[in-house]
Amino acid sequence: MKELCERGKYVLFSDRFLRRSRPSTHARSACRSKKRLTNQEFMPSDYYTSYIPFITATPKEDFIPVGNTNKQQVGGRKLLLTSRIVLYIAETIKNRTIPFVLVWFCFMLFNLSDAWAQSAESRTAEGQTAIKPLQIGDTIPEELWKAWLSVLSIKDENVQYSSLELYKDKVLILDFWNIWCGSCLTAMDHAGQLMEELGNEIAILPVTYQSREDILKFSAKNEIVKNTKLPLVVEDDVLSAYFPHRSVPHVVMVRDGKVFHIGGLESMKQDGLEAAIQNKQAYFKYFKNDFSEKESLLKRIDRERAIGYRFMSGYRNDALPVQGTEIDSAEAVKRIYFYNHSLLELYRFALDIPVTFPLNRISLQQANLEIEEFAFHHDMGDKLEWLQKHAISYEICVPIDLDDAVIKQMLIQDLQLFTGLSANVTERSVLVFEIGKNLDLRAHQQESANNMAVFYVLDAYNSKPDAVPFIYEESLARQVFVPYRDLSGLSAPELLDLLRDQGIPFDSTTEILTILTVNKG
């Protein structure tokens, strides 16, 4: 355990991501400062060595012949501590001093047990109990206001110890981030600009568990971190215990001593910060809870231990798009959940449709639906706004041994019952485009840094919901090159024009394709 601590390995916590454990030197300083411990934390052996003797079996290869004169090593190898103890006891037996050893051993056991009992009492008095995570509306406890934090100034590269009490009279923003999170860096850059405009009313603290050395090393090659004027909380294990999360950015807003809002990147917009300053909680349409799947949509039924239920609703504003299965072996049930998914994603599960199934192979005409009501595409704008309008949340609790095929059939029935839609996958003849047989490969096989494979053009085209399917052999499409161009934002007709401009011939024909057909009723 101590070796793990000294090497700074990663340790898996229940209900949390991998967290980097602190070296044993930090453990000692934390012990001196009476650091609060939780059952989710990795406690290095240094917390215990003052009280508990660690007794381990001596390995077979470390057996020592009685009478060895060098009590530190044998055969050129340094002895383990347990081996040296065995050697010492053997020597005392040889010298007939065993009564003294027994008296000494009993005395030490009595003192150690007494010390451990006293230590337990002191730890209880110091309140070292599990930290209860804070939710929106909770009051910030006094111990959190006064907790010491390591705050790094990028400008002078120094760490000072500070507390949140400095910011009690302001709207406090805790922005949890990591150096590998691109959107976190965007949020940090934006936060620096907002501080210049709103600095008298808000305080923004980026928070990371990473070390001072890691941050400074990263800042040398990243302009955003290098130029930030924000104080950075580093080596954090306090704030993240009160505000646990799985993904970053994770933004916590504190106002008037209470948790005002918990969100993601969208919370760092100027409108969001101004809403926090003006106490307009209704502005926020979404709040972030990375563990929302652990909380059933039907708490009351769960408490009554129902043997099964099915429930469908619209947008759930405390959850990211997430799906999974939770098994309760004690009650012999399993709960399958889909929170904030599109209709297409639910049908993918129910009908075993591949994730790569293109949107231009979905037929909605008979259902009188627009594609944006059925599935999301990046051309539709902000995904959060789309989710608020069109997302579906579905949950089903069934006996643990119920076959997956039955569960999928139940979902199909529920989709028809609650949405009035039915869907099936069929093979049918449809109009398609294909690369022309008169393509001159030699004219388009110049691979360079300024060219890209035509495969990427065709892939972007087929992702458009309104595009006629374009069929091609992937191996061929990766051998044909066209000048590089940014494809984002180009419509299906514009992508076809790009192919024509580069002399890539294509023809229309009919082909038997797999089509997802959605009907009304």
Distance CA 359, CA 364 (A): 11
CB proximity list for 275: less than 8 A, separation 6 or greater: 281, 283, 284
- Short-list 187, 146, 116, CA closest to 33: 146
| pLDDT (tens digit per residue) in 105-156 | 545 544 544 444 444 344 344 445 578 999 999 999 999 999 999 999 999 9
Distance CA 140, CA 158 (A): 28
Tokens of 196: 């210049």
Greatest mean pLDDT range, 40-49, 80-89, 400-409 = 400-409
Task: Give the pLDDT mean for 397-423.
Answer: 93
CATH 3.40.50.10490 for domain 138-283: no
Instruction: Point out the least confidently predicted range of 105-109, 293-297, 384-388, 497-501.
Output: 105-109
> How many Cβ atoms sit within 10 Å of the Cβ of residue 398?
18
* CATH 3.40.30.10 segments of the chain: 138-283
Does the pLDDT at position 325 exceed 90? yes
Q: Please state at what angle helix 98-125 crosses helix 81-94, rounded to 10 degrees.
A: 140
Instruction: Identify the helix (H) or strand (E) that includes residue 110.
Output: helix 98-125
Q: Is the pTM of this model over 0.75?
A: no
**CA angle, corner 234, sides to 232 and 235, nearest 5?**
170
Q: According to the model, what pLDDT value does residue 17 have?
A: 34
- Short-list 340, 344, 338, 343, CA closest to 326: 338
Q: According to the model, what pLDDT value does residue 29 have?
A: 37
Residue 305, phi-psi category: left (phi > 0), alpha (psi -120 to 50), beta (remainder): left
Tokens of 386: 């789309």
DSSP three-state, residue 335? strand
CB proximity list for 123: less than 8 A, separation 6 or greater: none
Q: According to the model, what pLDDT value does residue 215 have?
A: 95
Task: Give the pLDDT mean for 267-288.
Answer: 82
Q: According to the model, what pLDDT value does residue 118 have?
A: 43
CB proximity list for 63: less than 8 A, separation 6 or greater: 83, 86
